[in-house]
Amino acid sequence: MPALHKIEEMQTPAAIATETSLDPKDWKELKNLAHEMVDDMFAYLEDIRKEPAWRAPSLFAKEKLREPLPVKSTAAEEVYQEFKENILPFNLNNIHPRFWAWVQGGGTPLGMIADMLASGMNPNMAIGNHIPMYVELQVIDWCKQIFGFPAEASGIIQSGASMANITALIVARNTFLDNCKQRGLTALGKQLIVYGSEETHNCLLKAVEVIGLGSEHFRKIKVNDDYTINIKSLLEQIEADKINGFVPFCIVGNAGTVNTGAIDDLSLLTAIAKKEKMWFHVDGAFGAIPKILPEFEKQLKGLEDADSLSFDFHKWMYMNYEAACVLIRNKTAHKKAFSTPVNYLMQHDRGLSSGPESFSDYGMELSRGFKSLKIWMSLKTYGLDKYRELVRQNLEQVKYLVELIDENKELELMAPAELNIACFRFNPFSKHHKDLNSLNKEILMRLHEQGIATPSYTILKGNYVIRVAHTNHRTRKEDFDILINGVIRLGHAIINEDV
């Protein structure tokens, strides 16, 4: 390698340079402010347990965010004060120990710092011979090991499982419609069909719409009592579609449905996909993560045989938003779907344009941030064993919550809680309360508005339920005591107001 050329003697000293830039004039001043910000954010995270679970954004704070476009400068200290007063207090608060809404992780202080380092380096993760590219490749290799994918498989870090799922479906579609990149969807002259249970996440329906297959061609297969896909219905639907001249091409298996955490029979789905020469994709947004636990060997069997798998780091791996990954077994198919040679992105043998293959050949995005640094740092710092411990802790805490529900005659568990999601409702059977749906919705509103806890909701078989989706590393068992006491107290208060 040639020696690096010395260029200091050609540089103008900062004090006499005439050009402007966005670097601070006074580095020390911004550095002091930065230290204050770090201290404030650490205090914020350290003390979050003492805060209400949620606080509605104040009118004032909302009004402050309708100001005219700034044309002149404002001191960074002043802008930071406004952040502290009007933005920070009204967070979504998924960092709070009693946040269990939707399926959202809480991030970590280490992840926050890693994001700062990544942002300081600020590489564009599209192309080039620089170490951040190798960090992402390292992370993808680790993912293959975690989920039992072969070393030759490919993958790419994505913003979330929605993007990971659509990426996988594009590869699947293009594999079946070999010349669809040139000729579009009419290349086959027949309609491609995707199958998944009716509990499949909406982002897969969106994907099917966006990639031009049409939502009618996502067959929503009915589920069993435990909300897993009904295999018999799936097979019947595939047969019927074949008879009607459609082309069944992809099965989506759920490793953890969003409503209840149900895990489909993935090995059976793999076998069906193989037999029918279809693509098998697994949406494992959060439910693929227990693959790190030996006790899930049986339940998640088959996942390692999928053609593609997507999962999030920002849910059950507790990493800071955003971070997800898609793995694709067939690297050639993956690259073929997204790479189009262009002059200005040519790979060179030497210099900055050499190095690993462009990530833009494996996904839609060209410019991408250095999301993989926080993943690399978190995995290295904590090690897989720490994640095993935390995922087990979450599973045990959900069992504890289910015990609390079972012990209480006025609470009803509304779906099996096999994984990390518990759906339940308040039901004072004896009191013949007329509308349990509105009663439980009102309980949930008050849980939020009083800052007690933030579970969310769903509708199961027409019933409005309170839904706890647990991917929170800060929760303690006592937090579930607080939730249950709150539900019962509020339930009685609402009934008493009604009579």
Binding footprint of ligand PLP on the chain (CB under 6 A): 103, 160-162, 201, 203, 256, 258, 283, 285-286, 312, 324
Cβ-based nearer residue to ligand PLP, 138 or 159: 159
Query: Which neighbouring-strand residues pair with 325?
Result: 157, 311
Alpha carbon 236 to its chain's center: 33
Residue number, 305 or 312, with CB nearest to ligand PLP: 312
- Tokens encoding 60: 């004032």
| CB 152 to ligand PLP: min, Å | 26
> How far apart are CB 30 and ligand PLP at their closest, in Å?
33
Considering the complex, state which of residue 264 and residue 412 has its C-beta at the smaller distance from ligand PLP: 264
CA distance 257 to 197: 9
Q: What is the dihedral of CA 236, 241, 243, 248, to 10 degrees?
A: -100
Nearer to ligand PLP, 97 or 105 (CB): 105
Closer residue to ligand PLP, CB minimum distance, 161 or 405: 161
> Residue 312 forms beta bridges with which residues?
324
Which of helix, strand or coil describes residue 210? helix
Give the nearer residue to ligand PLP in terms of CB position, either 327 or 490.
327
Q: Which residue is nearest to ligand PLP (CB)?
A: 160
Q: Which is nearer to ligand PLP, 140 or 258 (CB)?
A: 258
Minimal distance, residue 401 CB to ligand PLP, in Å: 19
Minimum CB–partner distance for residue 229 and ligand PLP (Å):
13
Minimum CB distance to ligand PLP smaller for 118 or for 203: 203
Torsion of CA 154, 293, 453, 441, to 10 degrees: 80
Element (DSSP H or E) covering residue 173: helix 161-176
CB of 286 to ligand PLP, least distance (A): 5
CB of 256 to ligand PLP, least distance (A): 6
Write out the E strands in 18-135.
Answer: 99-100
Q: How far is the CB of 319 from ligand PLP (least distance, A)?
A: 11
The angle formed by the CA atoms of residues 259, 460 and 257, to the nearest 5 degrees, is 20
CB of 198 to ligand PLP, least distance (A): 13
How far apart are the C-alpha atoms of 281 and 292, rounded to whole Å?
19
- How far apart CA 444 and CA 458 sit, in angstroms, is 11
User: Least CB distance from residue 201 to ligand PLP, whole Å?
Assistant: 3
Q: At residue 219, what are phi and psi to the nearest 5 degrees?
A: -85, 115
- Phi, psi (degrees; rounded to nearest 5) at 53: -65, -30
Contact in structure between 327 and 155 (CB atoms under 8 Å): yes
Q: How far apart are CA 199 and CA 140, in angstroms?
A: 28
Pick 127 or 269: Cβ nearer ligand PLP: 269
**Shortest reach from residue 434's CB to ligand PLP, in Å:** 33
Of 283, 278, 323, the C-alpha closest to 303 is 283
Q: Cα-flanking dihedrals φ and ψ of residue 299, to 5°? A: -65, -35
Alpha carbon 223 to its chain centroid, in Å, reads: 24
Closer of 160 and 486 to ligand PLP (Cβ): 160
In one-letter notation, the amino acid at residue 123 is P
